[in-house]
Structure 1
Amino acid sequence: MQLDLNLLTALDALLEEGSVAGAAARLHVTAPAMSRSLGRIRRTTGDQILVRTGRTMTPTPYAIAVRERVHELLHQVQGVLAPSRELDLATLERTFTLRWHDSLVASSGPALLSAVRAQAPGVRLRFLAESSIDTPELRRGEVDLEANANPPGAPDIRTESVGETRLVVVVRQGHPLTRVKTVTAKRYAAAEHVTVSRRGNLGNALDDALARLGLTRRVVATAPTEAAALEFARGSDLLISVPEATTRSAVADLGLVVLPLPLELPSARIYLSWHQRYDTDHAHAWLRTLARTALAVDGASSCDLPVR
């Protein structure tokens, strides 16, 4: 029997996505085409692979048993067939899509873009705003590289820690806290706060730390980005607690004052994430190297961003 390696690719996508529509989106084919591939896989294996359960599809015991083997086989095949020639950056033409935390785009994006343009002028970068919900674009191939504080839990996502740092308090010039000798936890809690949350959350790990001291704070507003929150702080007595490394230049430009955070908090980490399909992609590996370097510029690889 002659085997079609395209069926292995389709089977891997079906088992990873758990649906015909999801697998079709991941492989950039139509749903009817993926349905036909599923039919061929069923005839070849003698197993249903996915069966409908209400509105969802459930993998069969056979599908669950072979899922890891299928994925590993496909990975090996891709490694064998991947071009082994050297990457020619001067002639490379490709568009990469990146979903980075907004403060990382502001602090490290310019360095990455400058390096890319200097080495591969035919490459374009698409920076997307973070979504208010967790999205599967990495798995679907719609996003090439993510950088934020949320390490994906999916086994097919590669995740690399690129550092950590501390939070600081930022206030306007002349804020009452700038006139005290020491910013205590009690004084910090008594102030009014603005927080950054793409989901609009009014609370975060800072509130848990205050609660352990028997203190609470009043958050009067949330902002979707740190740039917006810093503007709120500049025009009022609101204070904001932000990662020092990623906001250093913005704070200086806005004439704001940085104060120490009077709380003991464990450092959070920033992660660079990509789908494992790009492990042997020379151009993607080149971009990852530049991204690591850009995130390390001026300490920006050590970014303490609260999970939102």
Structure 2
Amino acid sequence: MQQSSDVAAPLPDMNLLPALDALLRAGSVAGAAAELNVSPSAMSRTLGRLRRVVGDPLLVPSGRGLTLTPRALAMQPRVQTALADAVAALRPPREMELATLQREFRIRTNDGVAMSLGAPLLELAAREAPGVRLRLLPEGDEDPADLRTHVDLDVGELPDPLPHDVRSSPLHEHHYVAVARADAEFASGPLTAVRFAALPHITVTRRGRTHSVVDERLAELGLRRDILATAPTYGAACFFALRTDALALVPSEVAIEASRVLPLAVLEIPLDLPTVATGQAWHVRVDTDPAHRWLRGALARVAAKVTPGEDAAPATP
């Protein structure tokens, strides 16, 4: 009965490849045996096996020695290439050269992380790995499974738990502050809880939700706030604050970056609010990849330098 063409033929013994390469280059059993440090009789037996596998005598008598058959001559460059490729595939990766690295990384994050870490990360990459290109993707309906295919790194507030095949590491923690236009009369000094609640607020939410831990802390003090507007991004909230007598609530490092270039005052929120942890997550497929390891390390170095309060001095309640 004829075997179905869908059934793959068994692989030949790949241990024969180094011997075949040596025989074709040496053109003799003795020469190949000496090169591979085996006895001539063992190499002669290997040649017999190769003849059966290949279906060609490969080496035939010629005068006092041997000569390659036309089939052996034709296959010699392919054998050399195949052996070199196999050896290269089984060797540990060579040390990565950042100066010549050509790579594109897709990083999914929110605009707050992009504002505070994006620019210094680009600066560091341009200095250490000028061939690297960063593609920052906006947050949406996040699915950690995307790390298995088209996202190289997730950065921000990570879900808990993560899938079993996703690795993560912490970057830093931040707290929330309020920003207001610098010439607002209430921006010159610390805020009290009463004053904080009395001012209109601008909050950031992608889904339009207005209730948060801020409202819970105010309720504990018998206070309520008025949310003037919600913004889809922290950058938009900062611009909203420039044209209103409102407080925009944003992460501390976002406030510091924004106040560098915009006439904004940074004010501490007079409530006991929890800090928020920022981390990075990646799939195990790139866990040992040298280029990806550099990216994770570069982001960690950048995040370690984010020190809210050094470059801007928010008022203390």
Q: Give the TM-score band, short-chain normalised.
A: 0.5 to 0.7
2:221 aligned residue: 213
Task: State the 1:173 CA deviation.
Answer: 2.6
1:166 aligned residue: 175
- For structure 2, the residue ranges without an aligned partner over 5 or more in a row are 1-9, 12-88, 309-317
CA gap of 1:121–1:188, structure 2 versus 1, over 3 A, is same
1:251 aligned residue: 259
The alignment partner of 2:133 has SS state of: strand
Matching residue's letter, 1:217: R
Does the aligned pair in 1 maintain the 2:115–2:257 contact within 8 Å? no
CA gap of 1:225–1:184, structure 2 versus 1, over 3 A, is same
Task: State the 1:155 CA deviation.
Answer: 2.3
User: Structure 1: how far apart are the matches of 2:249 and 2:223?
Assistant: 16
1:96 paired residue among 97, 105, 114: 105
Q: Which has the larger displacement, 134-143 or 90-99?
A: 134-143
The alignment partner of 2:258 has SS state of: helix
Q: Does 1:116 align with 2:135?
A: no
Aligned counterparts, 1:226-241, within 5 A: 226-241=234-249
Task: State the 1:225 CA deviation.
Answer: 1.0
The alignment partner of 1:90 has SS state of: helix
Does the aligned pair in 2 maintain the 1:130–1:198 contact within 8 Å? no
The alignment partner of 1:299 has SS state of: coil
User: Structure 1: how far apart are the matches of 2:284 and 2:260?
Assistant: 39
User: Structure 2: how far apart are the matches of 1:186 and 1:247?
Assistant: 22
2:289 paired residue among 275, 281, 285: 281
Does the aligned pair in 1 maintain the 2:157–2:276 contact within 8 Å? yes
User: Structure 1: how far apart are the matches of 2:99 and 2:225?
Assistant: 54
1:175 aligned residue: 184
- The CA deviation string for residues 131-164 of structure 1, in whole angstroms up to 9 with x for no partner, is 1x22345433211112112335222221211121
Matching residue's letter, 2:224: T
User: Structure 1: how far apart are the matches of 2:226 and 2:254?
Assistant: 25
- TM (norm. structure 1) is 0.66
CA gap of 1:213–1:81, structure 2 versus 1, over 3 A, is farther
Which of the two has higher C-alpha Rg?
2
Matched positions, count? 222
User: Structure 1: how far apart are the matches of 2:269 and 2:121?
Assistant: 30
- The CA deviation string for residues 195-220 of structure 1, in whole angstroms up to 9 with x for no partner, is 01123222222122212222221112
User: Structure 2: how far apart are the matches of 1:205 and 1:295?
Assistant: 25
Aligned counterparts, 1:59-74, within 5 A: none
- For structure 1, the residue ranges without an aligned partner over 5 or more in a row are 3-79, 301-308
Does the aligned pair in 2 maintain the 1:90–1:121 contact within 8 Å? yes
- The CA deviation string for residues 72-101 of structure 1, in whole angstroms up to 9 with x for no partner, is xxxxxxxx9684321122332211001122
1:225 aligned residue: 233
Does the aligned pair in 2 maintain the 1:100–1:146 contact within 8 Å? yes
The alignment partner of 2:134 has SS state of: strand
Task: State the 1:182 CA deviation.
Answer: 4.6
- TM (norm. structure 2) is 0.64
Task: State the 1:165 CA deviation.
Answer: 2.8
Task: State the 1:263 CA deviation.
Answer: 0.1
User: Structure 1: how far apart are the matches of 2:193 and 2:96?
Assistant: 54
Does the aligned pair in 2 maintain the 1:109–1:294 contact within 8 Å? no
1:296 aligned residue: 304
User: Structure 2: how far apart are the matches of 1:158 and 1:199?
Assistant: 28
User: Structure 1: how far apart are the matches of 2:227 and 2:213?
Assistant: 13
